[in-house]
Structure 1
Amino acid sequence: MKQASRFMPKYEPKKASKPVVFAFFAIAVAIVIYQPWYLLVIAGIALVVIVWSAIDQPNVERHFQNLCKERSGSSICEFAREFDSKVVDTWIIRAVYEQLQAALPTKQSVPIKASDGLFDTLMLDEDDLDLELIEEIAQRTGRSVEGYESNPYYGKVTTAGNLVLFFNHQARANAT
């Protein structure tokens, strides 16, 4: 019998190897020394991003406060009931729910529904989905991301429910 999903291990980020970190800092130092005007461009871009975030964050927090009020009393249980547990792996349901909550641009614990749009309702960035969230869910569920192009949900992952179903159709990763 498979272990209950509540005992699933948490996501553990891979540590960058020392040569990669050293190479990154060496390149950054070389840019600052040989092209100091790049530093001004990077600082300018960083300043714009910081100011924009400070202006927009109260709207984001208000959006998630309203979601929390609407969904008062909801939890992962309601999310899990939206799937047939005889067909959908409960580990995938839990991993998607928990990793989506961790990826939200708020500190609030927002109850998630399967119908929630990843980009409109949950306000996630497509790059976060592609670069981080997929890797985190794959690691926690033991699913491979290889061969994702043949997945029937490839290119259709716009809701939390579709993300669950996408991973449910992925093969298990080979244990190495």
Structure 2
Amino acid sequence: MTTSTIRMPAVPKKIGNAAGVLAVSLLVFSGVGALWGLLRPAYTGTLGEGGQVTLDQSFNVEFTSYITFVAATGLLSIILALSVYIISPESRGPGMLWWLLFVAGFSALSFYFVGLWATSLVHPIPDPDTLAEGVIVSLVPSFSPGVGLAAAPFMAALTYWCCALVTPEYQDDSALLE
């Protein structure tokens, strides 16, 4: 009796690297997005008659959420591009640059939606019919990231391209040893 083993074809290294970049990026961006959502500032106010809320604060919560979204996704994209460039030299090239553009954009969307979900857990929208007048309520308004979604792919591509620009190319491996 003979036993035969079925060998699955090996995944090409570049495809494996690209899949790993996507998986790690989505996990990291989603995790930081959840943290961002939990820490977003909120408006606090007093519920008045007719469901009207009188706000106690004067600073712009939407802008704070927007700028922290852009800064966090941009910084994560820089770290992503640097990591890919340094850790995976065999995948360097225009293909990885374009892949990083896609991954950073998709990861920024993941950051945003996971952050909104986390915010809704911490600051649920109260039903005005169940609240009495004079109750203090906390509200985190939604915001549209708009052009802020382009910050992450732009920063990833710029970082990766700058790394490629300043990295010297050696014709001979022996030059590395000198």
Q: TM-score, normalised by structure 1?
A: 0.24
Name the structure, 1 or 2, with higher relative contact order (CA <8 Å, separation 6+).
2
Q: Please identify which structure carries the higher helix content.
A: 2
Q: Please identify which structure carries the higher strand content.
A: 2
Larger Rg: 2
